[in-house]
């Protein structure tokens, strides 16, 4: 029994050849494209289409609905997997338009499904304290540095790249109005208050530890946090500091705790303490308050828990 090859089938092979030759995609990526687009062409075939030019925007939208619900007889996909297929479909139709196979792009206005917002992972105040204590265990200059680094990251909400990029001149250590000047994405500058715990840890490090680490430096690094050779501490080394401290503190899921976890915890704990979301936005250096508002979802969960446990009519 012969299988009829339609113009849609031929157009698909043309696109896959383009991805192979012109874009040099890996074998696994090409297989993923073929799998996703074959599901799409099967859907078009079920509607009796044989030519790519027959496809309309409504067909693409119906296909997206089909992969989300499984109504095409195949496995229903998550939003992220469906979004991947939409990207493949849009790429194919755009290629057909540019190659002159079709005169319109029916997928141009079809948007991938919205991804569910992932709640930032934060750890409790108690776990933060255990982590910071663990970082400072031991003798010599390194534990003082590690404690100061993590106190500063948690105390200011700094990104790890901002923390290791700090110069000594970026610190204002004046008691009562201590602050740190951070340079975020796009070199955008912001000044963040430095709390007493972070200030004390940084002072102890600068006075008792940094001079010993700086001995190994030839030119003298302006960086606040130095490695044992006197050079500026790298992002990778800062990650290692946190990973070791988390393991030493015995925190649950220690292998998943990252420097960003402390930044998330900084924001979550501020909001839980009553801070205005716009203030937290400024402290984090977010360009839009919408980025910061995801943290309010975390505190809303806390509020529900407290309400359920405390209100006489909640249960």
Collapse the DSSP code of 192 into the 3-class scheme (helix H, G, I; strand E, B; otherwise coil) and give the result: strand
Helix or strand run (H / E) with residue 171: strand 171-172
What class is the 7-98 domain?
mainly alpha
Does the annotation count 185 as an active-site position?
Answer: yes
pLDDT of amino acid 256: 83
* Tokens 């009553």, residue located: 274
Does the annotation count 93 as an active-site position?
Answer: no
Does the annotation count 295 as an active-site position?
Answer: yes
Q: Does the fold of domain 125-310 match that of domain 7-98?
A: no
The residue annotated as part of the active site, out of 93, 210, 263, 264, is: 263
Residue 31 to residues 16, 21, 43, Cα–Cα distance (Å)? 9, 14, 18
pLDDT in tens, the chain (315 residues): 445 789 999 999 999 999 988 888 888 899 999 999 999 999 999 999 999 999 999 999 999 999 999 999 999 998 888 999 999 999 999 999 999 999 999 999 998 887 666 655 788 999 999 999 999 999 999 999 999 999 999 999 999 999 999 999 999 998 888 999 998 876 788 888 899 999 999 999 999 999 999 987 676 789 999 999 999 999 999 999 999 999 999 998 888 888 888 988 998 888 888 888 788 888 888 766 666 666 665 555 555 665 566 656 555
The residue annotated as part of the active site, out of 39, 93, 269, 286, is: 286
In degrees, to the nearest 5, what angle opens at C-alpha 242 toward C-alphas 222 and 233? Answer: 20
Does the annotation count 263 as an active-site position?
Answer: yes
Quote the CA–CA distance of 121 and 95 in Å, as a whole number: 40
Helix or strand run (H / E) with residue 240: helix 235-249
Does the annotation count 159 as an active-site position?
Answer: yes
Helix runs in 51-183, H state only: 57-69, 79-98, 125-135, 141-156, 160-164
Does the annotation count 39 as an active-site position?
Answer: no
The residue annotated as part of the active site, out of 23, 74, 185, 278, is: 185
CATH number of 125-310: 1.10.443.10
The residue annotated as part of the active site, out of 90, 159, 264, 269, is: 159
Collapse the DSSP code of 56 into the 3-class scheme (helix H, G, I; strand E, B; otherwise coil) and give the result: coil
Give me the residue spans of the domains in the chain. Answer: 7-98, 125-310
Enter the pTM of the model: 0.59
Spatial CA neighbour of 248 closest among 110, 160, 136: 136
- For residue 250, give the DSSP letter: T
């Amino acid at each position: 029994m012969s299988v009829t090859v339609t113009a849609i089938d031929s157009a698909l092979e043309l696109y896959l050849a383009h991805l192979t030759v012109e874009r040099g995609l890996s074998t696994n990526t090409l297989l993923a494209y073929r799998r996703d687009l074959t599901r799409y062409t099967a859907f078009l075939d079920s509607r009796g289409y044989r030519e790519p030019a027959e496809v309309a925007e409504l067909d693409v939208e119906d296909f997206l609905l089909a992969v989300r619900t499984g109504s095409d007889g195949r496995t229903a996909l998550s939003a992220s997997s469906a979004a991947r297929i939409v990207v493949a479909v849009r790429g194919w139709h755009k290629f057909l338009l540019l190659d002159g196979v079709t005169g319109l792009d029916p997928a141009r206005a079809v948007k991938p499904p919205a991804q569910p917002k992932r709640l930032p992972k934060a750890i409790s105040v108690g776990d933060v304290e255990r982590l910071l204590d663990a970082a400072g265990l031991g003798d010599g200059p390194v534990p003082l540095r590690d404690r100061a680094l993590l106190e500063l990251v948690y105390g200011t909400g700094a990104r790890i790249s901002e923390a290791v990029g700090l110069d000594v001149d970026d610190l204002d250590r004046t008691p009562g109005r201590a602050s740190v000047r951070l340079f975020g994405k796009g070199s955008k500058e912001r000044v963040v208050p430095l709390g007493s715990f972070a200030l004390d840890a940084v002072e102890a490090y600068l006075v008792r530890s940094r001079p010993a680490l700086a001995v190994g430096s030839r030119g003298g690094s302006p960086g606040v946090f130095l490695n044992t050779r006197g050079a500026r501490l790298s992002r990778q080394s800062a990650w290692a500091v946190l990973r070791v401290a988390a393991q030493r503190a015995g925190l649950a899921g220690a292998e998943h705790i990252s420097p960003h976890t402390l930044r998330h915890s900084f924001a979550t704990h501020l909001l839980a303490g009553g801070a205005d979301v716009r203030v937290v936005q400024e402290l984090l250096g977010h360009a839009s308050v919408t980025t910061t508002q995801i943290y309010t979802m975390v505190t809303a969960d806390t509020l529900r828990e407290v309400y359920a446990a405390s209100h006489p009519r909640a249960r």
